């Protein structure tokens, strides 16, 4: 799970724990509320009371819930396959693994090794990220451009009668290793 998702989940958890604690322990919650009121009066903050703080807190929680609801509703969903034909007799679909093996075969024909293919298939677009290693450094840029054009052309021809409008292909050959991903056990 990505770090920003963990942070977001921690914030949501903390936001929604406080009302449950006040329901479980009402006596202690009243004592804490009285102490906060006394502190506010002591520091000459007469505009705020515990009730206004709770109202603001609840408004923030409701707004946050509405934002999360819209995010869940309108977030583009990922698909595992592309429907090629849909008829009464059945449906013919091309799985992401099929697309991956199709691309993998193209790269093996070009003498590339350690091919890593990531496919993000959404309703009307496909994003393909390919990383590979080449034994030879010459013609690397021309090879990337030619392979990218060839894969886009072949996939457009293969998926021409589907809902897919956009195919993005990103090819990287001989990318230097990222030191962040190295783990020592």
Residue 168: its pLDDT value, please? 85
| Series of mean pLDDT values for 10-residue runs along the chain (185 residues) | 82 81 82 85 80 84 87 80 83 85 82 84 85 71 79 84 83 66 63
Tell me the domain boundaries of the chain: 3-74, 81-177
pTM for the model stands at 0.57
∠ at Cα 73 (15, 127), nearest 5°? 110
Q: What is the pLDDT of residue 184?
A: 66
CATH topology of domain 81-177: Alpha-Beta Plaits (3.30.70)
């Amino acid at each position: 799970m990505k770090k920003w998702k963990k942070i977001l989940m921690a914030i949501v958890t903390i936001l929604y724990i406080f009302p449950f604690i006040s329901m479980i322990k009402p006596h202690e919650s009243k004592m804490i509320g009285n102490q906060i009121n006394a502190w506010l009066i002591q520091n000459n903050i007469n505009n705020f009371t515990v009730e206004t703080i709770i109202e603001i807190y609840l408004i923030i929680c409701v707004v946050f819930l509405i934002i999360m609801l819209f995010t869940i509703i309108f977030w583009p969903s990922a698909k595992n396959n592309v429907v090629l034909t849909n008829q009464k007799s059945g449906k013919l679909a091309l799985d992401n693994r099929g697309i991956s093996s199709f691309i993998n075969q193209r790269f093996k024909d070009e003498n590339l090794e350690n091919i890593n293919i990531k496919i993000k298939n959404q309703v009307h677009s496909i994003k393909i990220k390919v990383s590979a290693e080449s034994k030879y450094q010459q013609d690397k840029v021309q090879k990337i451009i030619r392979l990218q054009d060839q894969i886009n052309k072949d996939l457009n021809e293969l998926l021409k009668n589907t809902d897919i409008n956009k195919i993005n292909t990103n090819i990287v050959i001989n990318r230097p290793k990222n030191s962040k991903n190295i783990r020592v056990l």
